[in-house]
Structure formats: C-alpha cells, structure tokens
C-alpha cells in the first residue's frame, strides 16, 4: 500500500464510526464502519457435553466473508472463537470426548462450564468476569476476559484481541491436554479459533509455508489464507500479551488454531497465582502476502492494556 493510499485510509477511518459493542437479541454484536463483524454469545442452550462457554460467532471480514465456524459436522464441540481447555484437574472445558491413557478417546461425564458473572461493553472493548465450575459444580478458576476490537488504517482489515487472565482462587490448579495424558502431539487447549473449511487453505509462518511448519512452532505469527468463492481472505494470528506459546494449527482435516497452554507438560497455576493468555486475529479481505506484510499488519494492530 502506497503512502497516499495509507493517508487516504487514515483520513477516512478517522471520520468513520468508532468500534461499538451493542446488546442485540441476547448477545453482544460488534459493529465496525456501521456494519456487524462479530457476535459474542453466552453459553445459554449449549449441551453439557459441549463444555458450555461464551464464544464469538459469527466473525467476519469487513467485506462480509465468514471467518468462524460453530458446531461443524467434524467436531460438534468447536465453537467459533473460545477459550477451551481439555483438562483442568480432570475436568474438560473443551467439549466432546476426553483422551484416556490406555483407552483412547472416551466420552466422559467430566464437562465443566464457564459461568458468566458480569459482562460489560464500552466502545470497542468488551469485558467479562467468569467462574469456571467443574462437573460437580465446584469452583476451579476465576477469569477476567477482555475482547478488544479496532479498525486498522489500511482499509481492508480489523483486529480482534482476546486476553484472558486465569486465577487459581480456590487451590493450586493443573492444566493438561491429550498430549499430557498420553496422546502424542495432541497438545491443544487454550484460546482456539475455528474457521470454515474451504477448498484452498494456505498457511504461512516465519518458519515457512504449510501446516507442518506452523504447527508446534513458536513463530511470532501464523497466517491462514483462504479463497471464498473466488475472493481472497486472510486471518493473521499472533500472541500479543504473553511469551509466545507453541501453536496448535490445523489446515487439512479442518481449519483452526491458537496457542497451546500444555503442549507437552502439565501447566500449574499455584494457589493465589494467575496465568495470562492472549490471541489476536487480524481479519482481512485479502491474503497476507509474506513476512514483511505480516510485520506491517502487526505494527498497525499493536496497542492495548497488555502491550
């Protein structure tokens, strides 16, 4: 993008309506440039085996292309963008089956629930306080969640930043994954963004192109480029608030990704302690072209309470 185009975009965006979360039909809808681009939904109506939790869906580009998917046929327990952990002291906040050592994937009655305590929205910033309850109703974690949206001054992109602070207010808590329970390489769990599966899914990272280069890497960013009915669209993922955790990335069986909290070993939050995890998604009506393009977009999106 030329300097003249950048200046024109900045002038236009300065006069555009500010990002706004507004309460609509029981959920919070995010508007940018006067059009809806995301909705934050509560756990109401979710089945117990889905590990009920608030989530973002639909999420879309400024041009109206869908960039999230909920309850797909291949994984009914995937819900747009959410914070999902497969194992918190044996309780699943991921949904679906649990990997049991020496038995494999097993549907257990061990699903917890993220219970919203208070929800507020001011401009482009949504905040929520949550309580994580296990399958018996006991308290395991408290969470302070912030979802910050901003329009980028390039005309074809906006950024969504999800930051969660998990606190062990009751006792020391241990977080795990299928990998820590014996399923090699399945270290997923954390903030997870599920995308629609399309015919073309091109993955870029600082370590190279392809799912195999991005998965389990600690690249500062992951780009997921897709074609939607001939239109190029992209999602650039980064971790702005924390030390970069290894990425979980899928682009063949299905499309989705996010930072892994317990990729190889259990992660302990000591009693009275806290864990911060974050995921930023830059949503584009074009592809992320290369490393320099990714760096430029990340610079435009930088900012917020944790940076």
Domain ranges for the chain, please list them: 3-301
Tens place of pLDDT per residue across the chain (307 aa): 444 444 444 544 445 578 999 987 668 999 999 999 999 999 999 999 999 999 999 999 999 999 999 999 999 999 999 999 999 999 999 999 999 999 999 999 999 999 999 999 999 999 999 999 999 999 999 999 999 999 999 989 999 999 999 999 999 999 999 999 999 989 999 999 999 999 889 999 999 999 999 999 999 999 999 999 999 999 999 999 778 999 999 999 999 999 999 999 999 999 999 999 999 999 999 999 999 999 999 999 987 555 6
Task: Tell whether domain 3-301 is in CATH 2.30.30.
Answer: no
- CA torsion 295-283-178-130 (nearest 10°) is 110
> Alpha-carbon distance 71 to 96, whole Å?
11
Q: Which residues pair with 249 in a beta bridge?
A: 257
Q: Which residues pair with 113 in a beta bridge?
A: 133
> Do residues 110 and 90 lie in contact, with contact meaning Cβ atoms separated by under 8 Å?
yes
Q: For residue 159, give both structure tokens.
A: 């950024």
Can you tell me which residue has the tokens 């001939």? Answer: 230
> Do residues 98 and 84 lie in contact, with contact meaning Cβ atoms separated by under 8 Å?
no
Sequence-ordered list of residues with C-beta below 8 angstroms from that of 256, at least 6 positions apart, any chain: 78, 192, 193, 194, 195, 249, 250
Torsion-angle region of 103 (φ positive above 0: left; ψ -120 to 50: alpha; else: beta): alpha
């Amino acid at each position: 993008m030329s300097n003249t185009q950048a200046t024109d975009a900045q002038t236009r965006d300065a006069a555009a309506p500010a990002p706004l979360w507004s309460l609509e039909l029981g959920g919070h809808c995010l508007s940018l440039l006067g059009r809806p681009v995301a909705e934050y939904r509560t756990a109401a109506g979710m089945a117990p085996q889905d590990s009920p939790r608030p989530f973002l869906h639909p999420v879309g580009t400024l041009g109206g292309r869908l960039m999230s998917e909920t309850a797909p046929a291949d994984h009914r327990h995937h819900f747009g963008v959410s914070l999902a952990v497969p194992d918190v002291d044996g309780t699943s906040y991921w949904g679906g089956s649990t990997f049991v050592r020496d038995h494999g994937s097993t549907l257990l009655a061990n699903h917890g629930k993220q219970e919203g305590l208070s929800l507020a929205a001011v401009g482009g910033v949504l905040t929520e306080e949550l309580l994580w309850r296990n399958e018996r109703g006991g308290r395991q974690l408290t969470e302070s969640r912030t979802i910050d949206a901003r329009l980028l001054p390039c005309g074809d992109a906006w950024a969504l930043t999800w930051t969660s602070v998990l606190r062990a207010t009751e006792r020391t808590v241990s977080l795990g994954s299928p990998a820590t329970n014996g399923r090699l390489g399945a270290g997923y769990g954390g903030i997870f963004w599920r995308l629609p599966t399309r015919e073309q899914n091109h993955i870029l990272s600082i370590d190279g192109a392809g799912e195999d280069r991005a998965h389990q890497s600690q690249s500062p960013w992951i780009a997921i480029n897709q074609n939607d009915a001939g239109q190029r669209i992209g999602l650039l993922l980064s971790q702005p608030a924390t030390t970069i955790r290894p990425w979980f990335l899928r682009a063949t069986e299905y499309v989705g990704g996010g930072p892994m909290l317990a990729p190889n070993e259990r992660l302990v939050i000591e009693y009275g302690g806290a864990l911060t995890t974050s995921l930023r998604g830059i949503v584009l009506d074009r592809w992320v072209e290369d490393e320099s393009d990714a760096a430029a977009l990340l610079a435009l999106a930088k900012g917020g309470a944790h940076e």
